[in-house]
Structures are given as structure tokens and as C-alpha cells.
Amino acid sequence: MSLWIHLGINAMSTMLLSASNYTMQVISSPTRKEVDDAHAKSRWLDIGIPSTRNLRSISWGRITMWIILGLSSVPLHLMYNTAVFSSLSANAYDYIVVSEDFFDSSAVYNASIGFSTIDILNAMHEAAVNGNLSNYTSAECMTMYGVNFVSKARNVLLVTNTRDTTNNSVLASQEWDGTQEIPYSWICGDGWDGDPYADQMQVCTTTIAQAAATDWTVSGHHISYCMVEVVEEKCQLSFSLVIMLIVIAVNASKACIMILTAWKLNEPTLVTIGDAVASFLKDPDPTSEGICLSTKMDIQKKRWKLQTAKPWTPKKHFWFRAASVKRWLICNILCIGVIGLGIFLLTQGMDGIDIYNIKALWELGFGTVSANSVVTVAPTGLIATTLFANLPQGILSFLYLTYNGLFSCMLGALEWNRFGRFRKPLRVTAPEGTQRSTYYLQLPYTYAIPLLLMSGGLHWLMSQSLFLALVNVYDDDGEFDAENSISTVGYSCIAIFAALIVGGVAVVCGIANGFRRYDDGIPLVGSCSAAISAACHPPKEDSMAHLMPVKWGKVERDPGSDGVGHCCFSSFEVERPVSGDLYAGTKEKYS
Ligand SMILES: *[C@@H]1O[C@H](CO)[C@@H](O)[C@H](O)[C@H]1NC(C)=O
Ligand SMILES: *[C@@H]1O[C@H](CO)[C@@H](O)[C@H](O)[C@H]1NC(C)=O
Ligand SMILES: *[C@@H]1O[C@H](CO)[C@@H](O)[C@H](O)[C@H]1NC(C)=O
Ligand SMILES: *[C@@H]1O[C@H](CO)[C@@H](O)[C@H](O)[C@H]1NC(C)=O
Ligand SMILES: *[C@@H]1O[C@H](CO)[C@@H](O)[C@H](O)[C@H]1NC(C)=O
């Protein structure tokens, strides 16, 4: 149940966060007026990608809404997954060393022997006589009890064939609640006190492995086999009211902002490159006249206002040129850093449980609180533990944001690049004429769906890697023992391993995509509003270009006296510009 609920939760949160991201994008996109104002001050804005550059140029109301949407995503990432959590049960138990006589004797115990109470002795005796105990070999018994949390069994009779001088059928007994430093050290016998904990653990694990095959001695008695009181496992699925309330509150605030955006944001913003091109074709931007071959680089280097004709030099740019160096560095350094940290923690985790092969780790399972996979430094208290367990989710969300930003840059540039080769209608938020509507997801489906699956999958793996570990302890009578019950953070090595593999593949894919090349038929403008507007000065007669399929290229023109041509988006025939020719745009002929 926990598995399916968490898959569902992750699917929902992915959708919710995508919707929130989309709204943030709409809000932070500039309106045409804001673009014009910025251009008038020789500044440019970002179109079609998530960016903070635009925040300097948009209204306070929208900045506030943007911030609320952004901030409300943080608790969602940190808490959504722990709104529902499962808890295990652990049983305290008595181990009682008995001789075979214990089963024949009709004796009723009226005094405690060893540390077990009269009640337990009699109950075990009765269960044994009634055949209510299960017969396990020594090896099975050691495996069953050699774990941190014994959940499927309680009291156990360790049957020996030796006798002592008092002729008692009960030779020794002990109450065991698992709070001892090594939760099952009784199995290993004594004799290694003073060794460091890890060594003791090692010795005990090894002892169990060896002794199981040959000789097992408890309290000086050789154990032949065990009779185990098998009980039903009492696991539990719970939800936290406080966390639910926080999640509901931030979701509600997100919903309000989204509704407000749909309702009150009357002036359309230029969300996609298609929106910007349509707007600039319909109403060309006077500040970018005469620089029709401008690239983002030209604009950044302040060659904006020089307005000279520029020779066309076709170049097949790498995809990575579409995003800034800063963006690439931030994303990849962070990703590689986090993967490195993950590898370090994985080795620590494997040390913690002393298992170093993948098959054995796989058998421990995803997200299961097993033997020792509990973080010993975890904070206490449900909220603090929750935040600690979900920290990786928050980090992952941030990484994904930067990763997705890279793809948005590269694929936005690809969309632009295609206009140099094919005639296509513009992709806009509110289509008119032959315009196409925008994708449901921000990127083309061929990229959006794999990215979404990867992100959802990684979040799920993270939720299985480090998770809330809740263990309800029951005492040897089967009563709930609140004092010894634990709520902490557990980890699963195999899930961490899988997450690292998926994350590593994602980083490599991102970089590999950067080494693909664009076609050389159109300048690389990236998301730069000024360079986009420079390419949108169509011939005067082409006033409906924004509603029709368009293509970028050299527009037909009388062989000019100055030999300078003009390139732009147009619904008319266009040709690929000629390498080495000069191109600009003149006020008289081109609006
Ligand atoms: C236990 O029972 C035996 C007889 O079965 C009796 O002799 C003995 O006194 C009893 N002990 C206690 C502590 O009641
Ligand atoms: C085990 O004990 C229960 C009563 O607690 C009894 O009903 C049942 O028959 C016993 N099982 C066996 C196999 O004797
Ligand atoms: C338990 O099984 C062993 C053999 O595996 C057998 O010798 C022993 O008698 C059995 N004990 C009981 C109480 O059934
Ligand atoms: C021990 O028990 C056996 C039978 O159960 C009996 O024959 C023997 O006398 C007892 N020995 C002592 C010292 O009580
Ligand atoms: C967020 O929105 C931007 C712009 O619309 C888009 O490019 C990006 O893919 C989206 N990111 C996520 C994480 O969905």
C-alpha cells in the first residue's frame, strides 16, 4: 500500500509542480510593453525560458505572485512524500534455554526461573505442549532473531540436550528488548566487550554465519534447535495531520495564485518564442531595425545600436551554445557534486550494514527499514525527521530545475533554428489564424515525457533511499511499548545505488545533447528578446505574416545600389542568405 500510495503522491506532485512552474513562467514572461520599455533602455529580456532576469522589468504584483508560487514549492518538496508513512513493528522477547524435558513435563511453574516471569514460562509451556510453537533449526533461528527488529516472532525456546545439576528443565532465560547496543548480541555470546562497536558488529555477524552451520552456544549450553512463538506482523500505515495541513495550505495558496493568474492577468505575456515573433511581426520593434543578423552574442557585446550591415557567415553551432556558460556550470557542477556526495553516503551506508554486493543489497529491498539501515545521527521529532528525510528531494528538485532550464534553452533554440529551414506556423499561447497552440508540457513531447519520467522516477527512488523509519515496539506480552518505540530516518542502499545510476545517466545525456549541432540557416538568438525582434522586420506588404506559416531568410529585393540585403521572418518566399553577402534593413523598405 505504501509503495502504491507513494507512486500516486509522486505522480500528483509532479503534475502540481509542473502547473505551478507553467504559471511561474507565464507570470515572469514580459508583456510586449515591458519588452519595449526595456529595449528603449538598451536592455533585453528573456523569452521562453525560466529566468530571473525578467524580474527586474515586471510589475510588483506579478513578482509577488511569482515569489509565492516559488516559495510554496519548497514545503511541498520537503513534505509531500511524508504525508503518508508506514511503520514497522518490533517485538521484545524472552529467550529461554530449556532441556527436552520442558515438553514432556506437566509442571506448572509457580516461581520465576532466570529472568522470565512465571506467566511467560507457563504460557510458553502450554504453547509448547499444545503444539503452538514452530520448530526451527538453529541456523533458521539465528537468522530470524539476528536482526534489529524482530517482527514475525516473539518468545523463543532454545532447546539443548545438556542438563544441569538442579535437574530443572529451564536452564536460563533472559528478557531482550532490542535496545542493547548490538540488538542481537545474545546470539553471539559474550567475550568481545571493549571492542569498538563496528568490530563487535562484524564479529557478531561473522559468528552468526559460522555458528549457524556448526555449533551454537547460549549461556554455556549447546543449542540443538528452537521452538519459536510466531506472531502476526503488525505494520501500520499512518498519516500526519500537521504535514497534511501544511501541504493543503500551500496547495491552496498555489491554486489561488493560479486562478488569480488566469483571471486577472489580462495583458498577454510573451511566454513562447512564437508569442514574441508574432508580436514583433505584427508590430515591428523600431529599436532593432537594421541589425537583422543579430545574435544573442552581438546584443550582449553591445553591438546593438551600431546598426551596420553585417556579412552572413553560416555556422553550425553546438547545442550547448544556446545556454550560457553560467547555466551549464551551475547545473553540471551541482549535479556532479551531489552524485559524488551520494557515492560517499552509499559507501557509508554499505559499511553500516556490512554488505558490499549488489545482489544482497537488492534482497534487502527498496525503502525497507531493515536490520541496521537506520541513520544514527537523525534528529528527533516528526517534523524535524521529515525535513531531514526529505532534504534529498528538495535538492533534487532544485537540480532538476536547472537541468530542465538547460533543455528549455537548447530546445527553444532548436525551435527557432527550424524556421531557417522549414516554413511553419508560429507556436503561441493563444492561437489565431493558422498559428499552432503551445504544447501541454513546455517542451516537445519527445523531450518532455522522458524528462518528466526521469524526474518522477528519481523522486520516487529518493523517497525509497532515505525515508522515515517508524518502529512500534511491543513487549514480550504483546503490549505496545511507547517508550522503546522509535521514529527516525532509514536508508536503503540499493535505492541510493539506483538513484545514482539514473542521475549519472541524466547528466551524461544532458552533456551529450549539448554536442549536437544546429542547422546553419539562421542566427543563434537564444532567448534574447532584442535579437528575436531584430529578425522580425518583414516587408511592408507582408502585414499578416504573424498569422501565417513563416520562414526566416533573405527576402526578395531589387538588386540594391548598396548591395545590402535583408533577412527576416516572412510569409512570402524567402531564400537562404548567401555566405559573405551583407545584410541589414532599411527604414524605407522594411517597416
Ligand atoms: C510451588 O509448588 C510446589 C508444589 O507443586 C510447592 O511445594 C512450592 O511451595 C510452590 N512454591 C511457591 C513459591 O509457591
Ligand atoms: C494454538 O492456541 C490456540 C489458542 O490460543 C488454539 O486455539 C489452537 O488450537 C492452538 N493451535 C494448535 C496447533 O494447537
Ligand atoms: C524439532 O525438530 C527436530 C529435528 O529438526 C526434532 O529432533 C525435534 O524433536 C523437534 N522438536 C519438537 C518439539 O517437535
Ligand atoms: C532428575 O529427573 C529425573 C527424571 O525427570 C529423575 O529420575 C531424577 O531423580 C532427578 N534428579 C534429581 C537430582 O532430582
Ligand atoms: C518550467 O517552465 C519552463 C518554461 O515554460 C519550461 O521550459 C520548463 O520545462 C518547465 N520546467 C519544469 C520543471 O517543468
The Cα angle at residue 128 between residues 125 and 130, in degrees rounded to 5: 110
pLDDT tens series, the chain, 591 aa: 888 888 888 788 878 888 888 889 889 999 999 999 998 888 889 998 888 888 888 889 899 999 999 988 888 878 887 788 888 888 989 999 888 888 876 777 777 777 778 888 888 888 988 888 999 988 888 888 887 788 889 999 999 887 766 667 888 888 887 666 667 778 876 544 545 455 555 666 666 666 655 678 888 888 889 999 999 888 888 888 888 898 889 989 999 999 998 888 878 889 989 999 999 999 888 888 878 888 888 888 776 666 677 788 888 999 999 888 999 999 999 999 999 999 998 888 887 766 677 776 776 667 666 545 666 666 777 778 888 888 888 898 889 889 999 999 999 999 999 998 999 999 888 888 888 887 766 688 899 889 988 988 898 888 888 888 788 888 888 888 888 777 778 888 888 999 999 999 999 999 999 999 998 888 899 889 999 998 888 888 888 888 889 999 888 665 456 677 888 898 888 888 888 788 876 544 444
- State the cell numbers at 28: 515572469
Say if ligand 1 is within 6 A of residue 106 CB: no
Of 453, 457, 448, nearest in space to 498 by CA: 457
Say if ligand 5 is within 6 A of residue 148 CB: no
- Phi and psi torsions of 483, nearest 5°: -65, -40
Say if ligand 5 is within 6 A of residue 412 CB: no
104, 225, 226, 227, best to mutate for ligand 3 pocket (most atoms within 8 Å of CB): 225
Give first-to-last CA distance, the chain, whole Å. 65
Q: How far apart are CA 519 and CA 316, in angstroms?
A: 5
- Contact in structure between 549 and 278 (CB atoms under 8 Å): no
- Phi and psi torsions of 55, nearest 5°: -60, -25
Long-range own/partner contacts, residues 510-515 (CB < 8 A, 24 or more apart): 510/331, 510/332, 510/403, 510/406, 510/407, 511/332, 513/319, 513/407, 513/410, 514/318, 514/319, 514/320, 514/328, 514/406, 514/410, 515/318, 515/319, 515/320
Distance of CA 385 from the midpoint of ligand 4 (Å): 58
Q: How far apart are CA 321 and CA 315, in angstroms?
A: 12
Q: Where are the alpha helices (DSSP H) in 466-538?
A: 493-514, 529-534
- State the cell numbers at 173: 532465560
Nearest ligand, CA 123: 2
The ligand 2 atom at the shortest distance from the C-alpha of residue 130 is: 14
* Binding pocket residue ranges, ligand 2, CB within 6 Å: 130-132
Say if ligand 1 is within 6 A of residue 482 CB: no
The Cα angle at residue 121 between residues 117 and 123, in degrees rounded to 5: 115
